[in-house]
Amino acid sequence: MSDIKEIKLVDVKNNSNIINNLNSIYKLWGYEEVSPSFINTLQTIKGRGVIDENQVVGIVSNNSLCLRPEMTTSIVKLSSTRLINKKRPIRLFTNGMVFDKKQNNKNSFKLQEKLQSGIELIGYDTKYPEIEVINILFDSIDNINLKDGCNLFLLVSTTKIMDLILNKYKNNNFEEIKKSLVNFDQDNLSKLGIDEDDKYILKDLLFTRGEPIAILKKLKTIYGTSKTLDDLNFLFETLSKISNKYGVKLQLDPTFQPHLNLYEGIVFQLIGDNGKNKSVIAKGGRYDELVRSFSPNEKIFNGIGFTISVDILRNLIKEEKTDKKRILLMFKDSYLLEKGMNEQKEQQKRGNIAVLHLNPCDDLAKANQIMKENNCSEILWVK
C-alpha cells in the first residue's frame, strides 16, 4: 500500500514558493546548499541506530541499500567525506524527499514520501550552537505568510534532563521507567517495583511542562542544583529573548523524546496551534554522537539542525494573491506569429505573465473560452 500521490499544480507552486523563501533565509545566515544522495546503505542507518530497519524503504534490486528516511545522516556523512577538508563550522542546507514506511497490519505496509527543508550546523566551537539554529528556524517561519490564528510554540526538551531523572534507576527498571515516561504511560509506572514516593515524582513529571525557567526551577527543587540545570537555565534565558521577538512561545517538557534515535542533547519541535488542530511544522536537535561516529578525528564533536515539513507548512500558509497580469496573446492570421512572440517577450520584460496561443483565431467566443482555460484575465490581440 502506498501513500504516494499525485501533487496538485497549486501545491507544486506553493511548495516551490515555500522552498524559495526558506532558501533565501538560509543563505542570508551564511548557509550553503548541498544535495545528498537519496540512497543510503542499510549499514549506515542500522550502525548508527538512527531508525528501526523495519521502518526503512529498501531497494528491491539491492538489499543493502535503502531510500533515505531522514537527511541528517546523509549530510553528516558528507561532512566526513567530500567536505572533510572544509573549514569548520560547516553551515549547510538542503531540500528534498525523505521516505519511510509504517506497518498497517501484520502483512501490510504504508509507504510515504515527504518533502522537507532544513539546515545543519556542524563543528561550531561554542557551548550553545542551539542559539543560532533555533534563531534561524524562527526567522525562516517568520518569512512565511502563515494564516491568522496559527499560534506557534516550540516544544523543547533535552536528553540531559532525562539522564538526570533516570540516574538513580540505572540498576532498577531503567528501561521500563524511560519507556513509561516517553510514552506517557501512568499505568506501567504504577506497576513498577520502585519506591512509592519515586512513583509520585515520576507521574508528576508526566504533567510537568510549561515556561522553561519555571520548569527548571521545579526540577531544581526535586534534584538539587546541577551544572546541567544551570547550563539549561542560561540557554533558555537567551532563547526566551529570541522567541519573544518572533512571537513564539517556549514550552519545556522534561519527558519529551524524539521518534528517531538520532539526537543527544537539545531536541525540539515547532508546533502550530489554531485552536482545533496542532501541526508539527519542524523538528530538530543536537546529534554530537553522530558526528563522532562518522568523523572520529574531528576536533569539535557537535552537530545540530532542523527539518521543516513543507507538506505541513503548505497547509498553514495564506493564499498568495499576485498583482501580476496574466495576459493571453492571440492573433487572427498566421503571419502574425513572429510578431506575437516578440510581443510576448515585451510583456514578460514588464513583469507580466504572457501566454501566446500559437494557432490563429478569429472567433471571439472561442478566444474567451481559451482565455479562461489558460487562467488569463485579458486578451491582447496582436495586429
Residue 101 CA to its chain's centroid (Å): 18
Q: Are residues 13 and 125 in the same domain?
A: yes
pTM: 0.85
Q: Return the ∠ at Cα 136 (arms to 143 and 285), rounded to 5°.
A: 130
| CATH code (residue 54) | 3.30.930.10
Instruction: Report if residue 370 sits inside a domain.
Output: yes
Domain enclosing residue 371, as ranges: 326-381
Instruction: Report if residue 265 sits inside a domain.
Output: no
User: What DSSP assignment string belongs to 105-144?
Assistant: ETTEEEEEEEEEEEEEEES--SS-THHHHHHHHHHHHHTS
Q: Are residues 368 and 307 in the same domain?
A: no
Q: Are residues 43 and 104 in the same domain?
A: yes
- Read off the pLDDT of residues 44-95 as tens digits, 9 standing for 90 and up: 766 555 566 666 777 666 668 888 888 898 899 899 999 999 999 999 999 9
On whether the CB atoms of residues 105 and 288 are closer than 8 A, the answer is no
Query: Could you tell me which residues come within 8 angstroms of residue 135 by beta carbon, excluding any fewer than 6 positions away?
Result: 242
pLDDT given at position 42: 77
Q: Are residues 181 and 229 in the same domain?
A: yes
Q: Provide, rounded to the nearest whole percent, the portion of the chain with pLDDT above 90.
A: 65
Q: What are the counts of helices (DSSP H) followed by strands (DSSP E) for the chain?
A: 14, 14
Instruction: Report if residue 121 sits inside a domain.
Output: yes
Q: Specify the number of domains making up the chain.
A: 3
Residue positions forming the annotated binding site: 70-72, 116, 120
pLDDT given at position 193: 87
Q: Are residues 141 and 55 in the same domain?
A: yes
Q: Are residues 212 and 289 in the same domain?
A: no
pLDDT given at position 1: 45
Q: Are residues 113 and 130 in the same domain?
A: yes
Q: How far apart are CA 318 and CA 274, in angstroms?
A: 14
Q: Are residues 127 and 215 in the same domain?
A: no
Domain boundary among 201, 218, 252: 252
Low-confidence spans in the chain with pLDDT less than 50: 1-2
Q: Are residues 31 and 65 in the same domain?
A: yes
Residue positions forming the annotated binding site for L-histidine: 70-72, 116, 120
What is the bridge-based pairing of β-strands 326-331 and 353-356? Answer: parallel
